[in-house]
Amino acid sequence: MPILRHGLIRKQANRMFHIIKEVRDIKRLNEILIVLFEEGFEFLLARAGLKHYIPITKRLKSKIKKVEEIKPEVRLRRAFERLGPTFIKLGQVLSVRPDLVPKEYSKELEKLQDKVSEFSFEEVKEIIEKELGRSLHSIFTNFEKKPIASASISQVHKATLKTGETVAVKVQRPNARKIMETDTEIMHYFAKLLENNIDKLRKFRPARIVDEFKEWTEKELDFRLEARNAKRFYENFKASKTVHIPKVYGELTTEKVLVLEFIEGIELHNLKEIKRRRIDFNSIISSGFDAVFTQVFVHGIFHADPHPGNIIIMKNNVIAFVDFGIVGYFDEKLKNKNIDLLYGIVEQDEELVMETLISMGMESEGVNYEELKADIGFIIQPLQHSSIKEIKVSRVLEEILGLALKHSLKVPASFVLLGKTIVTLEGLAIEYDPKFKLVETAKPFIEKIVAKRKSPFYAWKSFAHNINRYRQFAEDFPEKAERALEKIERGSIKVDIEDTDIKKLSLEIDRSSNRVSYGLLVAALWITSAILYQVEKGPTVFGIPLLSFVSFIFASVFAFVLFISIIRENFRHW
């Protein structure tokens, strides 16, 4: 018996040593475990091997406490609210990522609001003066002590500069970084335990979710990044008559303090006030979607926090975007794929939607593409029997994101954020006007973008871009092929390709090789023409040496053939 007791003590000591090595704040870990236990997540704690850290008095009380029939997603939302700012922020992030958590959870977590107490004016004053190296009264003629907004990372005060301009001063909470780092450290430790011990949770990749959340919070904790984002948006929309971006006061911005132009207006979600003032909401929502699509498909950078409180209606129906802590990026490939996807939905083109999704880079090990195609078809096929006015884009996008979770697909985060933005805005529009149809609003913009892609200028840009890609491919191919062959010789490469994939790969290599050859030949002939122009003497054509002229003509013909080939292929995909 003493040996058994000694073994148990040693086992518990080893567990405690492991926890101390992974988590620095044991007191905070205990607080989190108790909240999760009280909200009914006893099973998860037991499977993660953490239940024995719950005080015995708590466990005894739970035995006699009546079990409440509350849905798990509601209990999770309540737990996050009790656990404070970091967990509320995590819940808000998950609410816009239905590709990472089940739909019912993301919907429930949308209810989370920053219920955070204000920190004192004395602390605000101390932080500002320390960060800017100047006294508060030397910067502002007026500074409202009561904040106009208070959130998990910061709070915002209204103030007036010495120049007379009204500004919003965003100040980071005292010790915000330390609190966030402590909580995310514990989250990651707990997520790894769940991932290692519960098979059903493994497909949700909780550790990856925490890692992504950590990246988000680190960006939001540096206000200089937000200032750079806001300046970029300001430049992109400075000529717009319908969109306004607040001015950034760079000389008054640091890691913990951000000073922006104060935006006076009504938050987009305040539908009651919008109706009271008889604002043309249809015009507003149309401008909102146009602004979002412009950010994504023209600028390639967009506001990635789709909370309607971050969109403000100003005078003359101008809309303003605020809070640029998190932004999404769309490169040319992702822009084109999303245009194809939205165009496929608008035109009810099932094949285009399926091809676009599968080619978007949403690959993952073990995905059954036949089942994926069948599921996509199940979503898209009903659209073919609907009129354009009956299509609800948000429903289609939500179902597509649900497929990503079902099939464990790696979805580009920017695509998900765009989808969530569209879902949020369409939901608000329908709440105001049940007859609102996003497809009718979006179709002109999408058709304009599609038409632009068919222009000669766009085709030339694509041609030039592809020539550079093929040149790089030709330069890198020998080295990459050598590395691949070495791996095959060592037996460290796994080959699992279907015959159809081999054929596609073979055709693609043939096509690429031909284009590389054409491109190199064109370049060689143009270079030869230029050299001969300088050195050749003899007969001329239009004042150009004969051989130089012939070389230039052949180069131009080959370039034209290659150009036409690329255009024809692009038209096949359009």
- State residue 51 phi and psi, 5-degree precision: -65, -35
What's the rounded Cα separation, in Å, for the pair 506 and 512? 10
CB count within 10 Å of CB 306 equals 21
Write down the catalytic residue from 99, 183, 290, 305: 305
The answer to whether the CB of 432 falls within 8 A of the CB of 411 is no
From residue 505, alpha-carbon distances to 290, 354, 361, 499, 539 in Å are 39, 20, 16, 10, 48
CB count within 10 Å of CB 547 equals 16
3-class DSSP state for residue 429? helix
End-to-end distance of the chain based on CA atoms, in angstroms? 76
What's the rounded Cα separation, in Å, for the pair 17 and 19? 5
- State residue 336 phi and psi, 5-degree precision: -65, -40
Question: Is there a catalytic annotation at residue 305?
Answer: yes
Query: Residues in the chain, how many?
Result: 574
What's the rounded Cα separation, in Å, for the pair 168 and 267? 15
Q: For the chain, percent helix, then strand, then coil, each to nearest 5?
A: 65, 10, 25
Contacts of 166 by beta carbon, 8 Å cutoff, 6+ apart: 158, 159, 160, 261, 262
- State residue 60 phi and psi, 5-degree precision: -70, -40
Which structure tokens are listed for 155?
Answer: 């709070």
Angle, nearest 10°, between helix axes 26-38 and 72-83? 150
Q: Which residues are catalytic?
A: 305
